[in-house]
């Protein structure tokens, strides 16, 4: 698998962990296609600027990954344009936090749609072409919260735990087709998502991390990249934690 021939699709690539994943694959010369759904294109353009410096072929699209039909159309076009997708990284995610007592139906639905249904949408849209090629890597980004829970995040925890069950099942279904399906589970990572947290919540998280520091997006990107490499050819259906020891 020569990197220069790989086409890598990353959801939520405009910033944070998604941007780091785009840049990690770009360093090896892969073609980078990412989606985002920010209100404006500022962050996406910044990512495109960084990718431009590495001089790889790129495509970025503002697209709501929770829409089944939009995702289906998008992947049809990608396969038409580039023949195949070698790696799919399901990274897009949101939080809509509230205590269950106060959580609205909308907060529940939005979080499940963006974090979990998107994984179904993109995986389903890409699998036919991967099956045809008898090769492919699908990596989804869950969260430690999906494993241990977190007050105010019952919707987020459910969506992220759902990704793990989905992955283990699809890994079994696709194992004979040359496709591996895995989950990377970040702990507490330095991005806009966590910068928004109240200081007290951040301190509480930090106190529980044996390595005593927050993780960096690059540290997640490196694990995703490795799972998509030849070195990880016999790994499927696995849940890989990258969290400084926060959960063991």
Identify which range of 36-44, 124-132, 147-155, 167-175 contacts ligand NAD by CB under 6 A. Answer: 36-44
Q: Pick out residues in 147-206 that bind ligand NAD (CB under 6 A).
A: 186, 188-189, 191-194
Within 10 A of 24 (CB to CB), how many other CB atoms are there? 23
Under rule CB under 6 A, residue 24 binds ligand NAD: no
Task: Determine which residue in the list 23, 30, 31, 37 makes contact with ligand NAD, applying CB under 6 A.
Answer: 37
Catalytic residue list contains 234:
no
CB of 82 to ligand NAD, least distance (A): 20
* Centroid of chain to Cα 59: 17
Under rule CB under 6 A, residue 35 binds ligand NAD: yes
Under rule CB under 6 A, residue 91 binds ligand NAD: yes
CB of 99 to ligand NAD, least distance (A): 19
Residue the block writes with tokens 């990258």: 242
Under rule CB under 6 A, residue 121 binds ligand NAD: no
- Rounded to whole angstroms, how far apart are CA atoms 139 and 92? 12
CB of 139 to ligand NAD, least distance (A): 12
- Rounded to whole angstroms, how far apart are CA atoms 55 and 147? 38
- Rounded to whole angstroms, how far apart are CA atoms 64 and 196? 22
Under rule CB under 6 A, residue 136 binds ligand NAD: no
- Rounded to whole angstroms, how far apart are CA atoms 6 and 28? 10
- Rounded to whole angstroms, how far apart are CA atoms 26 and 150? 34
Helix (H) or strand (E) holding 182: strand 179-186
Active site residues: 156
Where does this chain bind ligand NAD (CB under 6 A)?
11-18, 35-38, 64-66, 91-94, 114, 141, 143, 186, 188-189, 191-194
């Amino acid at each position: 698998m020569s990197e220069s021939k790989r086409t890598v699709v990353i959801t939520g690539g405009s910033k944070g962990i998604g941007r780091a994943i785009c840049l990690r694959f770009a360093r090896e010369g892969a073609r980078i296609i990412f989606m985002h759904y920010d209100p404006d294109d500022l962050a996406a353009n910044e990512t495109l600027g960084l990718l431009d410096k590495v001089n790889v072929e790129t495509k970025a699209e503002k697209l709501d990954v929770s829409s089944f039909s939009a995702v289906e159309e998008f992947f049809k076009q990608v396969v038409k344009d580039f023949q195949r997708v070698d790696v799919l990284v399901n990274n897009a995610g949101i939080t809509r936090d509230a205590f269950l007592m106060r959580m609205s139906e909308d907060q529940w639905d939005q979080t499940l749609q963006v974090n979990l249904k998107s994984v179904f949408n993109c995986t389903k849209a890409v699998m036919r072409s991967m099956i045809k090629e008898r090769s492919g890597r699908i990596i989804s980004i869950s969260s430690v919260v999906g494993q241990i829970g977190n007050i105010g995040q019952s919707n987020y925890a459910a969506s992220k735990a759902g990704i793990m069950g989905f992955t283990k099942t699809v890994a079994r279904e696709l194992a004979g087709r040359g496709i591996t399906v895995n989950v990377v589970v970040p702990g507490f990572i330095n991005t806009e998502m966590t910068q928004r947290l109240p200081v007290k919540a951040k301190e509480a998280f930090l106190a529980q991390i044996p390595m005593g520091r927050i993780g960096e997006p690059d540290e997640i990107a490196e694990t995703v990249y490795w799972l998509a490499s030849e070195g990880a050819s016999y790994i499927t259906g696995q849940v890989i934690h990258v969290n400084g020891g926060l959960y063991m």
